[in-house]
Amino acid sequence: MKILFVGDITGTCGMDKATQELGRLKRQYGADLVIVNGENAAERNGITEKQFRDLRFAGADVVTLGNHAWANQEIYNFIDREDAIIRPLNYPAGTPGKGYTIVDMGRVQVAVVNLLGNVFVSSLPSPFTMIDDLLKDLKQQGVRHIIIDLHAEATSEKIAFANYVDGRAGAVLGTHTHVQTADACVLPKGTAYISDVGMTGAVHSVLGVKTELSVQQFVTQIPVRFQHAEGEAKLCAVVVELDDKTGMAKSILPIQV
């Protein structure tokens, strides 16, 4: 089984790039399942209902979120009635939406999990303490194919977490820092890993933000209201191949378009 995972969609040009490329990439790499992180799609982060539906129409089977899950108020209108969009599992009981979803692929079921890191990004319960019970429940349900979007800042936290679940999940794919890292690998017990998949957004930007605004904040040390950059866009993704029987990874391939 092959899974195409597309990194943080950022701004209008990122949305345009993703909707243009998803179908082609799915065909090119023979992907059975497409997952997209969409938490920065809207103008001031978050995601709108139209953007969610556009991604679904373009071929996304699951849309994951992150620390900006609630940035756009529209999310409250549809997150509870859509199985194909998930927010971080770390949020307490009663929070709208859910932290994972199970996609029935016929021959197998695939669980897609969204988690938020702690270091420099949140004070929610640790992803380490959140994952054990879920993995146990999924195992009892017979779900062996598990993909985790770990939305986190610190590389050390991501690597440690991946090793913590090595052999218990098919892939731990880092998001949030918007720069594709050069450490894609399959860990010793069979979990595919990359510290950050990268972003889908403006090539000429600072992590998807207008360059001049980001530079201004660093120079003046005064907070600036960021805006997404536009123009030429790139798409960052990975293709993970999982063993049909075990759910463990056979390979992971980074992609930039």
CA neighbor of 9 nearest in space, from 157, 198, 142, 245: 198
Q: What is the CATH number of the domain that holds 150?
A: 3.60.21.10
| pLDDT score for 209 | 84
Q: What is the mean pLDDT of each successive set of 10 residues along the chain, which is 257 residues long?
A: 96 96 97 97 93 97 95 94 96 94 93 96 90 95 96 96 98 96 98 98 90 92 89 96 96 97
Query: Measuring CA to CA, how many Å separate 231 from each of 19, 42, 110, 205, 213?
Result: 15, 16, 35, 9, 16
Bridge partners for 253 per DSSP? 239
Has residue 207 been placed in a domain?
no
Has residue 131 been placed in a domain?
yes
User: DSSP 3-state assignment of 252?
Assistant: strand
Kindly report the three-state secondary structure assignment for every residue of 194-243: ECCCCCEEECCCECCECHHHHHHHHHHCCCCCCCECCCCEECEEEEEEEC
Structural element, H or E, at residue 8 = none
Has residue 225 been placed in a domain?
no
Has residue 217 been placed in a domain?
no
Has residue 246 been placed in a domain?
yes
Has residue 216 been placed in a domain?
no
Q: How far is CA 8 from the centre of its chain?
A: 6
Q: How far apart are CA 150 and CA 240, in angstroms?
A: 15
| pLDDT score for 233 | 96
On whether the CB atoms of residues 225 and 210 are closer than 8 A, the answer is no
Residue type, 49: E
pTM comes to 0.94
Q: Alpha helix (H) ranges present in the chain?
A: 11-29, 49-58, 75-78, 127-140, 155-164, 211-220
Has residue 222 been placed in a domain?
no
Structure tokens that stand for 251 in this block: 């390979």
Has residue 61 been placed in a domain?
yes
User: DSSP 3-state assignment of 55?
Assistant: helix
Structure tokens that stand for 141 in this block: 């349900």
> Which positions are catalytic?
68
Query: Measuring CA to CA, how many Å separate 230 from each of 143, 180, 226?
Result: 40, 19, 13
Domain count, the chain: 1
Q: Alpha helix (H) ranges present in 89-228?
A: 127-140, 155-164, 211-220
DSSP 79: G
Indicate if the alpha-carbon torsion angle 23, 26, 30, 31 is positive or negative: negative
Domain that holds residue 19: 2-200+231-256
Structure tokens that stand for 154 in this block: 């610190």
> Other C-beta atoms within 10 Å of 255: how many?
20
